[in-house]
């Protein structure tokens, strides 16, 4: 192995996680300050950089509390666990990325089922609070630091809700780029709640007492399915579900399982 490859692996392996062979991950090259951005937001639109920094800083501020509140949430979500069991079976032996992984609980759940996982999140603080031995690094879903066709699977739960339509199209193209033909992706999002219908967007300026600047979008599953298909990710299955009472925000949700076109 070259020294460059060893350095790259070492940056991924921060936190003691084992390096993953076969992937070209360069988390160490990402700017954590927001002053410079050495990666390109492929096709995400002219205002993407400013938006992205605001979102990242917001999640940096709530990362600890988010991990405390939601890090154990799968315990109360049998349908999500069921989908993840299916996903683990579909993944076979290759590497799967949890994109927008937050505190890494989904990545940890899949890793515990034998899936070779990596986690990526826009917020370095989220990466820092991830309570998992899965390698987690800061990355933007519209410019993933991963070689084309190097993943057999990708999960992205409740993260594309922060991106507008153009940004989501860029993210879906990126998902298609990093997935092998035939690889699966599972994408989840809120669709509505009592105050916000499908298509609405909610802006949050305070979250658990922290100042934030976050937009949460309620997405239309049919439109997202079409956008994913445009990117080359064709529908396999869809689950629409009601909220689990007392466990999570009382929103309706949708889970889209898609497959990278061969």
Ligand X SMILES: C[S@@+](CC[C@H](N)C(=O)[O-])C[C@H]1O[C@@H](n2cnc3c(N)ncnc32)[C@H](O)[C@@H]1O
Options 32, 70, 86, 236; binder of ligand X; rule CB under 6 A: 70
Q: Encode 105-135 in three state secondary structure.
A: HHHHHHHCCCCEEEEEECCHHHHHHCCCCCE
Alpha helices (H) along 179-218: none
CA–CA gap between residue 74 and residue 9 (Å, rounded): 30
Binding segment (CB under 6 A) for ligand X, from list 25-33, 98-106, 109-117, 254-262: 98-106
CA–CA gap between residue 202 and residue 114 (Å, rounded): 37
CA–CA gap between residue 83 and residue 256 (Å, rounded): 10
Comparing CB distances to ligand X, the nearer of 55 and 225 is: 55
- Is 126 one of the binding residues for ligand X (CB under 6 A)? yes
- Minimal distance in Å, beta carbon 199 to ligand X? 19
- Minimal distance in Å, beta carbon 259 to ligand X? 21
Comparing CB distances to ligand X, the nearer of 82 and 182 is: 82
Let me know: does 23 contact 139? Beta carbons within 8 Å: no
Strand partners, 117: 96
Let me know: does 190 contact 173? Beta carbons within 8 Å: no
Options 27, 87, 158, 175; binder of ligand X; rule CB under 6 A: 158
Binding segment (CB under 6 A) for ligand X, from list 157-165, 177-185, 224-232, 237-245: 157-165
- Is 53 one of the binding residues for ligand X (CB under 6 A)? no
Which residues form the interface with ligand X (CB under 6 A)? 52, 55, 59, 70, 99-102, 106, 121-123, 126, 140-142, 157-159, 162
């Amino acid at each position: 192995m070259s020294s460059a490859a060893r350095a790259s692996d070492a940056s991924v392996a921060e936190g003691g996680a084992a390096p993953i062979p076969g992937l070209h991950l360069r988390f160490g090259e990402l700017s954590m300050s927001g002053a410079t951005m050495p990666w390109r937001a492929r096709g995400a639109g002219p205002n993407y950089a400013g938006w992205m920094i605001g979102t990242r800083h917001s999640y940096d501020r709530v990362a600890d509390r988010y991990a405390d509140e939601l890090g154990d949430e799968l315990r109360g979500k049998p349908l999500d666990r069921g989908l993840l069991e299916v996903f683990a079976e579909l993944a076979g032996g290759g590497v799967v990325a949890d994109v927008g992984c937050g505190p890494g609980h989904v990545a940890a759940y899949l890793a515990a089922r034998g899936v070779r996982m990596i986690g990526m999140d826009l917020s370095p603080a989220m990466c820092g609070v991830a309570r998992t031995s899965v390698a987690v690094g800061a990355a933007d879903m519209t410019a993933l630091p991963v070689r084309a066709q190097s993943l057999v699977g990708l999960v992205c739960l409740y993260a594309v809700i922060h991106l507008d339509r153009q940004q989501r199209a860029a993210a879906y193209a990126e998902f298609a780029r990093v997935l092998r033909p035939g690889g699966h992706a599972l994408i989840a999002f809120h669709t509505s709640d009592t105050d916000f219908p499908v298509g609405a967007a909610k802006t949050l300026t305070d979250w658990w007492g922290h100042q934030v600047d976050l937009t949460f979008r309620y997405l239309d599953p049919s439109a997202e399915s079409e956008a994913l298909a445009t990117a080359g990710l064709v529908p396999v299955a869809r689950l629409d579900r009601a909220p689990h009472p007392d466990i999570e925000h009382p929103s309706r949700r949708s889970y889209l399982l898609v497959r990278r076109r061969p």
